[in-house]
């Protein structure tokens, strides 16, 4: 059977695992040990660990003054800022669950998320004050404006006076740390409830990459994203400096990296591509980097190789669900022969592969990836049926989470991702993996980016079509590119159509929104068709 397990979680001296500590407690310890060390940087602003700890204490005490108890929630809908970090971490100190909301969601989605979280407080800033409708009803959340704007009561006025201490709170490792809302690409976002234990394990996992006093982590993805928190939480819990970017910009990232001698960063693949393509990248001094990380979206082997070649420091890719379950890690600098994989399971994590009927597949075969670990979500908030739908249990009754991804293990135990199950194209009874077709298209010198989706076909049931972003100035034509690709693909893989687009639709953290591409294709006879380029029908595409 296809099963892969990493060694048990490592023990500390004496054979005992290190004791659980909350992130808020870690900040307090760093503040006591080195109160003047810099915790946060944004623009010209600096906040020391002593100041951050004091601000967190005031947030926690203010929430308690308002009647909040452990298990209550506080929502945040704002851009990245020092105040955002203080509100998030201060809520945790009070045992309150942080519920960061994505400002880019629709007003309807944000209203649903805010209501679902049950938040008693809502932290906003000026650009997002109107994104979440002001609550009516008997008990609307108290609105606090992080930037002092008119979106709510100003943070300065809401906070208790300096020196007021919060009541101590004992936090259970399995208590809720945060509620992360899914991107909503398949409907209404679901609230993923992650426990303190999960974040503690991430702090331990990333400690071996040199995070700690003296490290400088540049955060360029939004704080509501789990992608960001995967590195931000260990960085701040370890006592390092975190530099905040309100919005990613390649030129600004390179300037900040040089100015602050940045040692660590978490980036998604599209950011790596934009940085490497920037005209001053090779002239930038990035020698202070120790490690760069990537997660959230498919990371092409060719792009990994280019990062290793041109950017100093190690490169680490992490694969896993926001929901938790299993996680894999690839230290690309140590295994350049495995760049086509996402690595092997991290310690204490176990994976299995199952077929459509829920049975484990034979060794070497592909199947849906299910995983388990001590860092698994508690469940989808207030959605027990949705939680049950992503669970799979083995013969012993052990709980795994279904990833929706299809993959296989190679002979060395490295996980090779093939595709998302929902993106799999079943054409003429054959499984067609869009990632395979996308890899072929990206090999063409005139192609900057590509995405393949399945669309309905009378003849084949489904058929693959491609959306391609041409390289600047490339004299590319859709039909010529389609024929070029099909000459390198198997008969069952051949593209039935291809369109040129200016850009692929992506989420805030760089995931290609394939549902939008399928919708665009379905509207090919509508007003959007001319902008999308010509359509090539399926007739004869398999011959």
Closest CA to 350 of 378, 386, 376: 376
Least-confidence region, from 10-24, 343-357, 494-508 = 10-24
Q: pLDDT digits over 64-85, tens only?
A: 999 999 999 999 999 999 999 9
- Name the pLDDT band for 137 (thresholds 50, 70, 90): low
pLDDT digits (tens, 9 = 90+) for 515-526: 899 999 998 643
CA–CA–CA angle 231, 78, 323 (5° rounding) = 45
215 vs 288: CA distance, rounded Å: 10
Note whether residue 507 is domain-resident: yes
**CA separation for the pair 89, 83 (Å, rounded):** 10
Residue 377 near residue 193 (C-beta atoms within 8 A): yes
Question: Residue 14: CB partners within 8 Å, gap ≥ 6?
Answer: none
**Cα gap 312→281, rounded to integer Å:** 12
Residue 460 lies in a domain: yes
In the predicted structure, residue 184 carries a pLDDT above the cut 50: no
Is residue 499 within 8 A of residue 470, CB to CB? The reply is no
- To the nearest whole percent, how much of the chain has pLDDT over 70? 91
SS3 content of the chain, % helix, strand, coil (to 5): 30, 25, 45
Kindly state whether residue 500 falls inside one of the protein's structural domains.
yes
CA distance 495 to 434: 10
Beta-bridge mates of residue 317: 294, 330
Instruction: Flag whether 76 is in a domain.
Output: no
Contacts of residue 211, defined as CB under 8 A and 6 or more positions apart, other chains included, come to: 217, 234, 235, 238, 240, 264
Query: What pLDDT does residue 297 have?
Result: 80
Amino acid 422: pLDDT: 81
Find, among 478, 470, 462, the residue nearest to 538 by Cα: 462
Dihedral (Cα; 14, 19, 25, 26), 10-degree rounding: 50
Decide if 406 contacts 418 (C-beta within 8 A).
Answer: yes
Buried b (16+ CB within 10 A) or exposed e, 103-121: bebeeebbbbbbebbbbbb
pLDDT averaged over the chain? 90
Question: Please, which residues have CB within 8 angstroms of residue 392's CB and are 6 or more apart in sequence?
Answer: 354, 358, 370, 399, 400, 401, 402
- Predicted local distance difference test score (pLDDT) of residue 535: 32
Confidence of residue 214 (pLDDT cuts 50, 70, 90): very high
Average pLDDT of span 253-268: 97
Residue whose token pair is 């990296």:
257
- pLDDT (0 to 100) of residue 426: 83
> 439 with 452: CB under 8 angstroms?
no
- CA 312 → CA 242, 276, 283, 299, 395, distances in Å? 20, 13, 13, 18, 46
* Strand blocks (E) in 67-172: 73-77, 97-100, 121-124, 142-145, 153-154
Using an 8 Å Cβ cutoff, are 270 and 510 in contact?
Answer: yes
**Distance of alpha carbon 164 from its chain centroid, rounded?**
36
Number of structural domains found in the chain? 1
Buried b (16+ CB within 10 A) or exposed e, 519-539: ebbeebeeeeeeebbeebebe
**Residue 490 covered by a domain:** yes
What is the span of the domain harbouring residue 498?
424-532
Average pLDDT over residues 242-269: 97
Evaluate if residue 13 carries a pLDDT over 60: no
pLDDT at 534 exceeding the cut of 60: no
Give the pLDDT confidence of 502-516 residue by residue, as tens digits: 999 998 788 899 989
**Would 516 be classed as within a structural domain?**
yes
User: Which residues, in sequence order, are CB contacts of 161 under 8 Å at separation 6+?
Assistant: none
Give which of 40, 37, 509, 43 is closest to 256, Cα–Cα: 43
Q: Which two tokens stand for residue 324?
A: 């938790």
Q: Which one, of 87, 88, 82, lies nearest residue 42 by Cα? A: 82
Contacts of 259 (CB under 8 A, 6+ apart): none
Region 141-158: what's the mean pLDDT? 96
- Tens of pLDDT, residues 411-427: 999 999 988 888 888 88
pLDDT bracket for residue 321 (50, 70, 90): confident
Higher-pLDDT residue of 294, 12: 294
Confidence at 205, pLDDT banded by 50, 70, 90: very high
Inform me whether the pLDDT recorded for 383 exceeds 70: yes
441, 322 in Cβ contact below 8 A? no
3-class SS at 387? Answer: helix
CATH for 444 = 3.30.300.30
Residue 129: inside a domain, yes or no?
A: no
Q: List the alpha helices (DSSP H) in 66-149.
A: 82-93, 107-117
CB 161 within 8 Å of CB 150: no
In a domain, 484, yes or no: yes
Q: How far apart are the first and last CA of the chain?
A: 37
Q: Which residues does 297 contact at the CB level (< 8 Å), separation at least 6?
A: 268, 269, 270, 509, 510, 511, 512
């Amino acid at each position: 059977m296809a099963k892969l397990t990493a060694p048990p979680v490592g023990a500390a001296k004496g054979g005992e695992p290190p004791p659980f500590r909350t992130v808020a407690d870690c900040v307090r310890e760093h503040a006591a040990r080195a109160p003047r060390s810099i915790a946060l940087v944004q623009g010209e602003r600096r906040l020391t660990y002593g100041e951050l700890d004091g601000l967190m204490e005031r947030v926690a005490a203010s929430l308690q003054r308002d009647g909040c108890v452990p298990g209550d929630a506080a929502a945040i809908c704002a851009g990245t800022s020092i105040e955002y970090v203080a509100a998030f971490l201060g809520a945790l100190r009070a045992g309150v669950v942080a519920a960061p909301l994505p400002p880019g969601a629709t007003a309807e989605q944000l209203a649903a998320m805010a209501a679902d979280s049950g938040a008693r407080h809502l932290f906003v800033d000026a650009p997002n004050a109107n994104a979440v409708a002001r609550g009516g009803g008997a008990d609307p959340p108290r609105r606090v404006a992080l930037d002092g704007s008119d979106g709510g009561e100003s943070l300065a006025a809401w906070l208790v006076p300096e020196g007021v201490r919060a009541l101590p709170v004992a936090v259970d490792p399995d208590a809720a740390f945060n509620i992360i809302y899914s991107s909503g690409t398949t409907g209404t976002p679901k609230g993923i409830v992650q426990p303190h234990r999960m974040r503690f394990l991430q702090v331990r996992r990333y400690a071996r990459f040199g995070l700690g006093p003296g490290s400088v982590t540049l955060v360029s993805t939004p704080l509501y994203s789990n992608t960001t928190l995967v590195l931000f939480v260990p960085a701040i819990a370890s006592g390092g400096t975190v530099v905040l970017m309100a919005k990613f910009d390649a030129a600004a990232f390179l300037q900040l990296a040089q100015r602050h001698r940045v040692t660590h960063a978490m980036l998604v693949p599209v950011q790596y591509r934009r940085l490497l393509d920037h005209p001053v990248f090779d002239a930038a001094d990035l020698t202070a980097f120790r490690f760069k990380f990537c997660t959230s979206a498919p990371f092409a082997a060719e792009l990994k190789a280019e990062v290793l070649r041109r950017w100093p420091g190690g490169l680490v890719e992490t694969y896993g669900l926001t929901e938790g379950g299993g996680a894999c890690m690839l230290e690309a600098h140590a295994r350049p022969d495995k760049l086509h994989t996402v690595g092997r399971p991290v310690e204490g994590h176990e994976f299995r592969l199952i077929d459509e009927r829920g049975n484990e597949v034979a060794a070497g075969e592909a199947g849906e990836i299910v995983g388990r670990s001590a860092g698994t979500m508690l469940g989808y908030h207030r959605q027990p049926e949705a939680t049950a739908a992503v669970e799979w249990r083995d013969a012993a009754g052990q709980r795994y989470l279904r990833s929706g991804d299809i993959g296989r293990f190679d002979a060395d135990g490295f996980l090779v991702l093939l595709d998302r199950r929902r993106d799999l194209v079943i054409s003429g009874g054959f499984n067609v993996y869009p990632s395979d077709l996308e890899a072929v298209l990206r090999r063409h010198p005139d192609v900057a980016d590509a995405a393949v989706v399945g669309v309905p076909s009378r003849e084949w049931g489904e058929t693959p079509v491609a959306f391609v972003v041409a390289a600047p100035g490339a004299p590319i034509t859709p039909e010529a590119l389609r024929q070029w690709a099909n000459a390198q693909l198997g008969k069952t893989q051949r593209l039935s159509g291809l369109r040129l687009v200016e850009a692929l639709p992506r989420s805030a953290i760089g995931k290609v929104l394939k549902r939008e591409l399928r919708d665009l294709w379905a509207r090919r006879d509508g007003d959007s068709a001319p902008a999308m380029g010509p359509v090539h029908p399926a007739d004869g595409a398999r011959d």
